[in-house]
Amino acid sequence: MKGKIVRGKGFRGCLNYLLAQHKGAKIIGGNMTGRDPKSLAKEFAAVRKLRPDCKKPVLHIALRMPVGEDVSAETWLKIILRLMKLMGLSPGRPWLLVKHPDQHVHLLLSRIGFGGDIWLGRWEALKLIEATQIIEKEFGLTVTPGLKGKDRKQVRITSGQIKKISRELDRGQEPEIPAKVAIAERIQQAIDQSNGTFDDFKERLEKLGVAVKLNSAKTTSHISGITFELGGVAMKGSKVARAYSWQGLNELLAERKTAYENRRTPQPTVELGPKPNERRATQPITPRVGPELGSTGNRSPKGGNPTPSPVPSAVPGIDGGAADAVPDVLLSLLAGAPVTAGVGAGTGSIISAARAVGTARRRALKNIEEDDGPGADGPTIGF
């Protein structure tokens, strides 16, 4: 729903427009007894005489639904009563509601009340926009964008500028864009195209025709604000919009920098390889067999079993690299395993040594399962 509000000097001319025969107008509400422009103008004039000092007693509000949307006359009347309350317009004054066929209505009021009071109003154009936003939600109507809201990037324009744009649109003219709106559009464009640094933002904004000046204290050189200038019109960033103040601009640039860096940083590629146990199963086990160590030197005592050779801390794989280090618990188990291979042992001795290592490995795994149970989380033991 869009609204327009204007003040005027005479009621008769406005009534002639609202109740013209070719418009298919219909009175659907109000507190007036007349039904034609002449009689209605006399009723408004009677109240106008109470305050001859009021130069513009006419208040005209037009409301239009989006194309294809309309409500009943009864609902329109409820909407208008709610609107008057939101605008601070008490029904204790002459008012008239006229419905036109193309889903819009006209509310004609006297700023002068029956008691001689005058509705002064202030920033009524902005208040009308706020009121229509509330009404759209309360009555389940299509929610249309407003000029003012919680958005920090919302450009701050005056009610006079809003009225000027409305008049130009009504005349079918291309409205002149206020300087702060043009500056705001260029600021946001420069932010979106920058890499998030102030220098890059400034360079891009100046290419769009907007000069940038930092405001700083003379003694401390502390930056306290920023000013933008376009076409000879200069204004502080906070006057353009809250988001474009010096502090707000730094926050927007920080967000942009994060997004820019994340976009340019390549995501790590994770290559899925075989699990440790699967890899080791495909590799031949070739344990190193070192010299036998006995109690009397490098050889075993006569007639005794040779002591097991030292178990390497890692076993070379196919690619020449080392497999996972052998846990201490497995080393202790292997210390008592009979290994018959010694220095210069042949293939059979190596196989025997490998079998001994495999037996110790199975024994270790069995002990772990008995202690922790199958599937217990813990270190993987194996070669």
Tokens read off for 316: 């070379």
Rounded Cα–Cα distance for residues 158 and 155 (Å): 10
Per the structure block, which two tokens stand in for 37? 């422009």
- For position 44, what pLDDT does the model report? 96
DSSP-based three-state secondary structure for 207: helix
8 Å CB contact between 5 and 130: no
Condensed to tens digits (0 to 9), the pLDDT of residues 269-297 reads 545 555 555 555 555 555 554 444 444 44
| Residues of the chain by 3-state class (helix, strand, coil), percent to 5 | 40, 15, 45
Using left for φ > 0, alpha for ψ between -120 and 50, and beta otherwise, residue 134 falls in alpha
pLDDT at 260 over 50: yes
Is the per-residue pLDDT at 383 higher than 50? no
Across the range 13-19, mean pLDDT stands at 92
Per-residue model confidence (pLDDT) at position 355: 56
Mean pLDDT, the chain, whole residue set: 75
Classify residue 362 by burial, with Cβ atoms within 10 Å: 0-12, 13-18, 19+: exposed
CA dist 242 and 155 (Å) reads 8
Pair of tokens at residue 100 = 């036109």
Where do you find CATH 3.30.930 in the chain? 2-146
Span 232-257, pLDDT tens digits: 989 898 888 888 889 889 999 999 99
Both structure tokens of 252: 């927007």
The full DSSP string for 237-267 is HHHH-GGGSHHHHHHHHHHHHHHHHHHHSPP
pLDDT for position 170: 67
Burial 83-117 (b: 16+ CB within 10 A, else e): bbeebebeeebbbbbbbbeebbbbbbbbbbbeeee
Q: How confident is the model at residue 38 (pLDDT cuts 50, 70, 90)?
A: very high
Nearest-angstrom CA–CA distance, 288 and 352? 13
Strand order through the sheet with 223-230? 211-216, 223-230, 233-236
**The pLDDT of residue 335 is above 60:** no
pLDDT of 22 over the 90 cut: no
Instruction: State the pLDDT confidence band at 264, using cuts at 50, 70 and 90.
Output: low
**Count of Cβ atoms closer than 10 Å to residue 120 Cβ:** 8
- pLDDT tens per residue across span 337-369: 443 333 333 344 444 444 555 565 566 556 555
3-state secondary structure of 160: helix
CATH topology of domain 2-146: BirA Bifunctional Protein; domain 2 (3.30.930)
Highest mean pLDDT among 10-14, 101-105, 164-168: 10-14
Does the pLDDT value for residue 61 go beyond 90?
A: yes
Long-range own/partner contacts, residues 142-151 (CB < 8 A, 24 or more apart): 142/1, 142/65, 142/66, 142/69, 144/1, 144/2, 144/66
What pLDDT does 164 receive?
76
- pLDDT per residue as tens digits for the range 81-126: 999 999 999 888 999 999 998 889 999 999 999 999 999 987 888 8
Question: Is the pLDDT score of 378 beyond 70?
Answer: no
Distance CA 178, CA 20 (A): 35
Gyration radius of the chain over CA positions: 44
CA gap 239, 151 in Å, rounded: 14
